[in-house]
Structure 1
């Protein structure tokens, strides 16, 4: 029955079947397999991205229903983002070792089961725990979706595919407040999570049947590397999340930040010495990889600040309900969906740097415009042009930087590059919100509409600053099309990688 169902058509080109070995490259993937990889990766990524901020407009309802405190409510958001961030790199390593399709399916199953657990939570502690498990599934989904899509498409078409994937993913992040508000207002907050269950159960058999398996070059899991990067990311993210509540100079925050930094330094030291690194440090010799990861960090920092505060401004200052606020963000969110695929086409023609620089410049202009006009009693229509400009800017930037990072490594190492990039994305989002909330608290607060507006304006300028830092990082990207793409197979293969491929062939 599954064979009779076809995913939506996307244009195909004449790609000869020239890939060799057990993990055939993108050139060997037939057009139908490419479509399934893109459709299934996009559906799963949409669910995971949606849940990043889906509870933001339903927090009031959850607080009343579960009798939770403000700090407990904060953790219903942060528990997901924290486990998501710290597990992105290990997720890539697990996919390389045990199979990207297999671990993608495991992640989808975990995410689906955890969504049901969230909906069934009878108290806030159970909800927080289930959200943390959701983050584990989301880390596997998001990292391996990018790896599977990147591996399925040849270098000359990878930008288009990533643009489509990132358009859907960006839409999920931006629609989180809208969906959460609509469901909480029309049904019950539990349905925010129940909606994931039938989608996940329907997608699982197609993942297992329609996607080919692929592995990375590693013969063994780099357990010390997994432990060090997990501890390092956890320490840094914990410090960012707890900074506003515990105080940025507190022993808890400073200690967590220092411990995290020490673990990350130990991770870099270990990866330079182990024969089978989870993240080869030689990746950072590539300007496309290093600058691309810096650029995506600041891009997501600016984007998450905008998502986090714009929905609140529409409700607190302009007086709209959760659903009304979400609907009025549509001029912004729609651009994320429609412009990203176009940007993916353009990046294959003109290169990553022009799109990244122009995109983040537009994001800075849009957020600065909003900051300048924001005031109590203003009309919503005055915000629409700025929302469109900011949305188009982010839509241009994200596919460009993703293409730069995955195009900077060999085909077999795409999973590792995607994992590193995913971690930088999530850390950027957490960092952006943490800094902007601190700026908001110092300039205003929730006491009055005027006080909130003052804080919102300051937070918007923080988003502008992150966007301008993204412009600087984008200027460091290679300037010509094709300069970031690495050859599909190295001219002098590493013996350890060949041995890993041979083991993969024997295991299958």
Structure 2
């Protein structure tokens, strides 16, 4: 799908879309360094902290597909602006919170705002850029998302030290306001042709996706056999199966599942899921290694991720040029192979490794992600008909949200199991379950054993993730369409 002509203000529009994406990604990451302060100032316990994080994830993931469909139906710019307004108001609620319950409510509302904004960003991007420039624009958008993920903890540390925890939410308001003004001034409105609403599809998708993400979140905490996890999985399977049956049956589906017949759409979406699983595992494993094994503070651990951000941004720029010559399939597969090499390098880390090996691992990972992700997104979005641009973007966002959560859950369980298996049988039970508990004892021998066991567990997890990402590279090669000298219409069903 391509536009007949680029919009004259397309680069300013891209800047606005990047700003909208940046405020969402920064805020989601900035909270990671604020947790100790929230515990102290609001009296939040472990369950409160979990809900402060999970309320956002559940609201966002559950509503993404519905929000994408609404943007196609009622206008993508309109949903973007409404979402930014909701996000700004929710940030004000969170900043004014005097109890954990109020903060949880604010975070849930922020998740709603994020769900409304995200599908509109990519769908607007592909309507204002022609096919020739769309890859460059998508690479810039991906680079900004990565910059927000890495910059969030750094910004959070600076705000916390200078202005208190409320500032991590208040900073969202002027940025969102600027994005709203720019959107109303610069962006054209776009929407799909008039179609009947699909309320049943919307309800089933919200129930199914919320239950699925809840099950993924509970998996490493309660285990697969826990009644709550099993119930959530059962609800997710039933609701999503009913959603698929209904979407195939109804004449006006919210999500046209026939898109998955397109090799670029299906290959791109599944490659993104597996990549995000790997990214979720990387952030989980490496941030703990930096803090528990190397003794970094949370802010220092966030700053240590800078090599990945720099490498990703550079690779995004390179990938935008190479992608036109090599095609999405080759770029996605090659980038994923480089990501797998980064995980292999990370498996070589030792308890006394210096930052040089960490930086090299992150740089390799960043290069691979910078090459693979924009190509996979370009393939997925290039296969989406214009009338379904919003819901196509929502599928991309949903895949990445679910993949990231699944990576933390599954690879977190692998790490925990490998750590426990490597700890001495004579160690106290809490210390065998958690490196944090082991370090808290203060015994030098136990601390040494815990750091050795964690590094061993990290190597196991890194090799498992490398295998997973290599599987994604193979999937991209076999499923996605090869490029040709003159690209065929990417929306074609094959």
Under a length normalisation based on structure 2, what TM-score does the superposition of the two structures give?
0.89
Moved more, 200-209 or 392-401: 200-209
Question: Could you say which structure has the higher helix fraction?
Answer: 2
User: How many Å separate the matches in 1 of 2:487 and 2:241?
Assistant: 30
How many equivalent residue pairs?
A: 464
**1:456 and 1:51 mapped to 2: Cα distance?**
28
1:263 to 223, 232, 239: 239
Q: Distance in 2 between matches of 1:158 and 1:418?
A: 14
2:486 paired with 1:486: no
Q: How does 1:307-456 map to 2 (within 5 A)?
A: 307-373=283-349, 375-444=350-419, 445-446=434-435, 447-448=438-439, 449-450=450-451, 451-456=453-458
Instruction: State the 1:255 CA deviation.
Output: 1.4
CA distance in 1, matches of 2:463, 2:413: 13
User: Which residue number corresponds to residue 465 of structure 1?
Assistant: 467
Unaligned 5+ segments in structure 2 are 420-433, 440-449
What's the RMSD between the two structures over aligned residues? 2.0
Q: CA deviation at 1:371?
A: 1.9
Question: Does 2:204 align with 1:202?
Answer: no
In structure 2, the residue matched to 1:497 is: none
Measured at CA, do residues 452 and 56 of structure 1 come closer, stay the same or move farther in structure 2, by a change above 3 Å? farther
CA contact (8 A) 2:339 2:466 kept: yes
The one of 11, 26, 33 aligned to 1:57: 33
Matched, 1:30 2:4: no
Cα distance in 1 between the residues matched to 2:18 and 2:487: 27
Distance in 1 between residues matched to 2:460 and 2:163, nearest whole Å: 35
Map of 2:447 onto structure 1 = none
- Superimposed CA distance per residue, residues 414-448 of structure 1 (whole angstroms, 9 cap, x where no aligned partner): 22211111111110011111112212221222223
Shift of 1:45: 0.5
Structure 1 segment 41-440 matched on structure 2, within 5 A: 41-373=17-349, 375-440=350-415
Tell me the CA shift for residue 483 of structure 1.
Answer: 5.0
Go from structure 1 to structure 2 and tell me whether the alpha carbon gap of 1:455 and 1:111 turns closer, same or farther (over 3 Å shift). farther
Kindly provide the CA deviation profile for residues 133-192 of structure 1, in whole angstroms up to 9, marking residues without a partner as x: 111111121111010001111122211111111111122123333332333344322221
Q: Which consecutive residues of structure 1, in runs of 5 or more, have no partner in the other structure?
A: 1-18, 20-24, 491-508
1:96–1:415 Cα contact (<8 Å) kept = yes
- 1:174–1:307: 8 Å Cα contact kept in structure 2? no
**CA offset at residue 51 of structure 1?**
2.5
Q: Which runs of 4+ in 1 moved over 6 A?
A: none
- The Cα offsets for residues 114-150 of structure 1, whole Å up to 9 and x where unpaired, read as 1122221112222122111111111121111010001
TM-score (norm 1): 0.87
Distance 1:415 1:143 in 2: 5
Counterpart for residue 474 of structure 1: 476
Following superposition, the deviation at residue 358 of structure 1 comes to 1.2
Q: Shift in Å at residue 268 of structure 1?
A: 1.0
Structure 2 counterpart SS, 1:346: helix
